[in-house]
Structure 1
Amino acid sequence: MEIIVGLKFNNTYTKENIKMLRCGHLMIMTNREDDNSYIEGLVINFIHYFWWSLVDLPGFFQQIISPIVKCTKGKKLETIFMLPQYDI
């Protein structure tokens, strides 16, 4: 993480010095299966533990919510993001 993003241990990041990173924000991209919400939490906890100041920066953490499945019936497209939405 330190090499890819440019984070340095024991640094406090602010709006002013965030530009020294190699990215403007951290995007968490996981699919919507039940166990992946835990993975998101682990990533955020890792960042919070080592670089707690990043959590306070608005917009630093971003997330893409990908669908589990896309179904079509005729011309109607149904997108399902969470397992409880899937009605058999």
Structure 2
Amino acid sequence: MEQDITNIDFSKGDGIVPVIVQDVNTKEILTLAYSNKESLERTLTTGNSWFWSRSRKKLWMKGEESGNTQKISKVLVDCDSDALIYLV
């Protein structure tokens, strides 16, 4: 469901929200990751998938080490504005 991404509720998850990453063509679920406000802003600005690492406590871009980047086709928000889907 498309929602206003400026109203994401980061408060429910201590500043992060879950992100399902899905292949836009095959609909295959690729991963479950987490985003904070800064990683979402970077995702929207750059068009690449950025996430928050809960274990390393830092931002990371998918593919920054492996070269397997994910180009964003669309960002979807659930009805409660506390979870995202990145179509890549």
The structure with the largest helix share of the pair is 1
User: TM over 0.5: same fold?
Assistant: no
Taking structure 1 as the reference length, what is the TM-score of the superposition? Answer: 0.25
Give the structure, 1 or 2, with the largest relative contact order (CA under 8 Å, sep 6 or more): 2
Bigger-Rg structure (1/2): 1
Taking structure 2 as the reference length, what is the TM-score of the superposition? Answer: 0.25
